[in-house]
Chain A
Amino acid sequence: MFHENEKLLGKEHLKRMEAHTFLIVGAGGLGGHLANALVRLGAKRLILVDRDVFEKSNLNRQLFSNQKSVGEYKVDAVRRELLDISPDCEIECFYDDIESLENHPNIAKASVVFDAVDSVATRLWLEKFAERLEVPLFHGAIGGWYGEVALIEPGTRLLETLYGQKKKGVEKELGSPTFTPAIVANLMATECVKWLHGEEGVLRNKMLIIDLKHHSYQVVFDRSKK
């Protein structure tokens, strides 16, 4: 399965994907699309964390929300759908806030962390958590037509710098349409694959700001060029 990816990504691709345990925090808009992409890229071990159940209001944008899964824990529905794609995938689900799982031994097995949550406070917590695990954090955030993506390496505290004392983003006013989480989540997966293969051009400790409405794509915090 998934050998088709090797045409582009090389013979080592699946082996490298299989070597990692991917922790996806947040199984909503970004998290669902991200889990889908990782499994189709050949991921074999995933950990999903989200305390929420699917609601009707999620149907416009959350990949695995549907008439059957409304009312079900998001992580359970996502896991079931992922296993339909890749039956031998190991997927562990947690139904709590990530903060309460800080010392869980299975969470600590994560070798890559994805920030797909919707709270600034949790994002800042995750940045420190990934730092403690000494693993990369792939950050994604969305709001309306806008999104951002970054790979944050331990010790750089990019999110702490960026969000500072801010408590919320533009999504509270703009909501999130169908396409924005799909695009941003797949960019997160793209960056992860590039990182995995040591490709140049990874958004390493810099951030891509995406404006889908006016097709403006800006990389900020790029200190390597200065």
Chain B
Amino acid sequence: MITVKLYAYLRDNRGKEVSIDYREGLTIQDIANDLKIDLADVSIVICDGKDDLPNRMKDVEVSEDSVVHFFPPVAGG
């Protein structure tokens, strides 16, 4: 089971934490698709302690007990 932690408005209609069943070859992009999250709305993805921009993380394959975080951008002053 993969744990996906969401922040800010990404939680709308999804909740703050979502569990996803593991399947062979599952990628960050697949998880975003499953949750109907547009990676263009995400500023940072963290998967099992490795963080990077969504376009560099999207093809990362997760493992059975991965923890993935999706952060949207923050820009207020």
Contact = CB atoms under 8 A, between A and B. Distances in A.
A150 to B, nearest CB: 12
Instruction: Give chain A's interface secondary structure class.
Output: mixed
B73 A29 contact: no
B75 A123 contact: yes
A215 to B, nearest CB: 13
Contacts of B46: 218, 220
B42 to A, nearest CB: 9
Given A161-B53, A162-B43, A220-B51, A146 B77 contact: no
B53 A146 contact: no
A117 B76 CA distance: 7
A163 B76 contact: no
A181 B16 CA distance: 23
Interface residues of A, number: 41
Contact of A143 (B44, B51, B53, B75): B75
Contacts of A164: 53
Interface residues of B, number: 18
Contact of A169 (B51, B69, B73): B73
B8 A144 contact: yes
B75 A218 contact: no
Contacts of A142: 74, 76-77
B22 interface: no
Interface in B18-66: 40, 43-44, 46, 51, 53
Interface of B: 7-9, 16, 40, 43-44, 46, 51, 53, 69, 71-77
26 contacts: A29-B76, A30-B77, A116-B77, A118-B76, A123-B75, A142-B76, A143-B8, A144-B8, A146-B7, A146-B8, A146-B74, A148-B74, A161-B53, A162-B44, A163-B73, A168-B73, A168-B75, A169-B75, A170-B8, A170-B73, A174-B9, A209-B44, A218-B46, A220-B71, A221-B51, A222-B51
In the A-B complex, the 8 residue pairs with the smallest Cβ-Cβ separation, listed nearest first, are: A171-B76, A169-B75, A118-B77, A170-B8, A220-B51, A169-B73, A143-B74, A169-B74
